[in-house]
Structure 1
């Protein structure tokens, strides 16, 4: 089966990288989940153990029957280990015992690292995209990965890999505001799920994933994104102050406070908050981008140049987003 390259960003990969990625294709399978009315949802799965395929639970949530497809051969899942809140399901597929298993990365990810994603976008041939780690969001004992690797419908449950073809995450959801809000589950959760006993037979799942609950129940990093996307800056500032009051070492809370202050025209206060966020998490490309925007707006040339140089060193691709947002600011929009 051919592998398609999704998005212009994939062209940044060299031929050797593409060849290495193609070697992963046998381990990344299409998932077909059928409900009681015969409707079929399509996603992606990754072989993480002999006959064990990891996918996103929202792909199989309503299913009475699940199959994985490898080179046109459909193999029935007999059971699944479901961690619905984490949106992580492990399918037990006896017929897939010979599917090559991917290597699970055991060392921490770092912001700015290059990534490659592989998934069945729109249910067609597996597609490849590349990008970088933007931010690692602490949640439930892991680090939810925010990256610039684009994916779309059908890629949920697909694999996120480092440049050594080791699995670092399972693609799960895309926040529908902005171009850099792609999120993947950490490989630590996969490793923990593999230690669980086999699950029950396939049946509809109860519960909702952490990213799909009522607004007030979302993790703080998603609450921040939602409020910012809706330009509810005053409410974001109120919540961020509450988070900072609860934990003065919470870098994302300081970042959220700085964003809210900047959007409301309080640049001096925003600079202080954004500097605090970047000092607490010096390798965070998202924090550095917003700090550079604030410095540019305050005509702090030396500070802006220093932050931009740091951003270029950490995540060169993030400079494109910075420049795009600077153009937006120049046009009079909220940065």
Structure 2
């Protein structure tokens, strides 16, 4: 298992004593409406060890979860309202970390609607999963970035989760499934990732899978560094401060696709890490993918560092219109810059 990316198991919640005090009315409503469709998954291996994850009903008798939850299992069950139901077979897309479990006894569990329109950075999200096998819990956040991979877009969000909620549902504010919580990067914040609902839609078209047995292969996020998707390589290189390597990767990425906004953004991050003016690279990323709060924030900081106050004010105002919750973080970065905290602010 990669030391940089780890699987999820538990959805983080505020430490307030009661659910009602910890969550807003919209989150409580989401919990009530979606809870019947979000199930606990129990994975037993040949030695009798039992791991717990989460699954989401996506069709009658079909539960979607993360393959790393079921990877070592010789027996699988899902639990709904205290009733344990046997999994008869599973459709495994191990590289995508997506498994569909066929559960005849769960035919009456209501499937959730699958969103079939694109997500946008800044959209609100609601996450639902289990905590250490207890009742499902809810958390919220926003779409931070969308990363193209294997024909769809992996979701990076500010919605917090940790070990225990693997395979849990990521929903939009209309209660439509947009992805499954899957992994997080070990360094920094806001590095939570969910696999996209488009992969679930594809998997539902496949024939039923074989009987439950341990799976071969490893997910895309757990590959050796050279085989990781570029967006994950950039996170690793940035976390290690390997700015020259990050710049080489970004320039190779750009050479292969001049219109890839993430590649230009990675170049900007490498340049900023080295103390070089990154305004042009960030501006190019912003031009290719406008209304991305991350790109706008980094561009604004670069403009601030070069004393272009008019451009900074314009970028900040644009960010406030698109993602008001991101402005506070931008202001904190600028204050850090003013105090000489670091080149990355």
TM-score range, shorter chain: over 0.9
The answer (yes or no) to whether the contact 1:134–1:286 under 8 Å persists in 2 is: yes
Deviation at 1:224, TM superposition (A): 0.5
Residue in structure 2 matched with residue 332 of structure 1 by the alignment: 341
Deviation at 1:327, TM superposition (A): 4.5
Give the secondary-structure state (helix, strand or coil) at the position aligned to 1:202.
coil
Q: Which structure 2 residues correspond to residues 5-84 of structure 1 after superposition, within 5 A?
A: 6-7=13-14, 14-84=24-94
Post-superposition Cα deviations, 1:121-157, rounded to whole Å, max 9, x if no partner, equal 3332211111111111101010111111101111110
Q: Which structure 2 residues correspond to residues 185-334 of structure 1 after superposition, within 5 A?
A: 185-267=195-277, 270-329=278-337, 330=339, 332-334=341-343
The answer (yes or no) to whether the contact 2:41–2:55 under 8 Å persists in 1 is: yes
Q: Which moved more, 1:99-108 or 1:17-26?
A: 17-26
Residue in structure 2 matched with residue 155 of structure 1 by the alignment: 165
What TM-score results when the alignment is normalised by the length of structure 2? 0.91
Post-superposition Cα deviations, 1:87-111, rounded to whole Å, max 9, x if no partner, equal 0000001111111110111111111
Q: 1:87 to 1:38 in 2, by over 3 A?
A: same
Post-superposition Cα deviations, 1:174-193, rounded to whole Å, max 9, x if no partner, equal 11122111111111110110
Deviation at 1:311, TM superposition (A): 1.6
What's the Cα RMSD here? 1.9
The answer (yes or no) to whether the contact 1:159–1:170 under 8 Å persists in 2 is: yes
Q: Distance in 2 between matches of 1:325 and 1:60?
A: 41
The answer (yes or no) to whether the contact 2:12–2:161 under 8 Å persists in 1 is: no
Residue in structure 1 matched with residue 136 of structure 2 by the alignment: 126
Deviation at 1:231, TM superposition (A): 0.7
Q: 1:49 to 1:304 in 2, by over 3 A?
A: same
Deviation at 1:298, TM superposition (A): 1.5
Q: Distance in 1 between matches of 2:25 and 2:283?
A: 40
Deviation at 1:5, TM superposition (A): 8.2
Name stretches of at least 5 consecutive residues in structure 2 with no aligned partner: 1-10
Residue in structure 1 matched with residue 8 of structure 2 by the alignment: none
Post-superposition Cα deviations, 1:12-43, rounded to whole Å, max 9, x if no partner, equal 96424422332100100111111111111111
Q: Distance in 2 between matches of 1:323 and 1:122?
A: 37
Q: 1:49 to 1:62 in 2, by over 3 A?
A: same
Give the secondary-structure state (helix, strand or coil) at the position aligned to 1:226.
helix
The answer (yes or no) to whether the contact 2:27–2:138 under 8 Å persists in 1 is: no
Deviation at 1:325, TM superposition (A): 3.2
Give the secondary-structure state (helix, strand or coil) at the position aligned to 2:183.
strand
What TM-score results when the alignment is normalised by the length of structure 1? 0.94
Q: Distance in 2 between matches of 1:309 and 1:255?
A: 20
Q: Distance in 2 between matches of 1:144 and 1:193?
A: 16
Q: Distance in 2 between matches of 1:208 and 1:39?
A: 20
Post-superposition Cα deviations, 1:189-226, rounded to whole Å, max 9, x if no partner, equal 10110000000011111001000000110111101111
Give the secondary-structure state (helix, strand or coil) at the position aligned to 2:164.
coil
Aligned length: 330
Q: Distance in 2 between matches of 1:16 and 1:39?
A: 37
Post-superposition Cα deviations, 1:64-91, rounded to whole Å, max 9, x if no partner, equal 1111111211111111000000000000
The answer (yes or no) to whether the contact 2:275–2:343 under 8 Å persists in 1 is: no
Q: Distance in 2 between matches of 1:101 and 1:144?
A: 22
Q: Which moved more, 1:296-305 or 1:110-119?
A: 296-305
